[in-house]
Amino acid sequence: MMPAPSAPRPGAPDHIKAVALKLFAERGIDGVTVRQIADAAGQKNHAALTYYFGSKDLLVRTLIVDGARAIDERRNAWLDENLASDGIDSVFAVMQGLVVTSIDPDPPAWGECYNRFVVGLQMSNRALFMDALGGRWNKGYLRCLDEVRRLRSDMPGEVLNQRLVFMGAALGGILAAREAELADRSREHPMWSSDRTLDAVAASLAAIIEAPLG
């Protein structure tokens, strides 16, 4: 029988998840052990992780779903608000929505980690990532793509779908790079810390969609 962690405290599972997400974002899931997560989370009993989550694999799956669900909720709320008011009248506006909803509005003290975690995981173990999602938590993303298709109904479908794939890859990669830079506390990062940079990211993503047909 698995022993319970010493003196479990309220909030311990959430703290373990936040610490694990940071470590996975920095080192990849294969570069982090259960013991390292427990030590970093201040858990004297290294069985704490398996006590709360069952296994490292289940913890990874929990982190995938937690982040994807939070982003999807923010994304659907953003869409509902904008479609109910003035509507969405440009590809740039859709890209702004995708960017802002991908960012954690209440990150831990060490900063955002989810985009780095997901991008690294998709490169090293996409099958695990897709299996954990199980086809869920992407409704808001698909709705955003539908808005782009509506706005650019003049573009050949095959070309537009290809550009949407490129845009999605760029979105994750750019935001992962932003997280990595902001995680470096040894110096200032005026470009990445500026809110205007997020609009520049959105403009770059829109350019992928709206570049002239070659």
Higher-confidence residue of 195 and 200: namely 200
Q: Are 14 and 63 in contact (CB under 8 A)?
A: no
Interatomic CA distance for residues 195 and 108, integer angstroms: 19
pTM: 0.90
Name the least confident of 16-25, 36-45, 68-77.
Answer: 36-45
pLDDT of residue 44: 84
Question: Is 107 exposed, middle or buried, given 0-12, 13-18 or 19+ CB atoms closer than 10 A?
Answer: middle
| pLDDT surpassing 60 at residue 5 | no
pLDDT of residue 6: 43
- Split at pLDDT 50, 70, 90, the class of 45 is confident
CA 136 to chain centre: 14
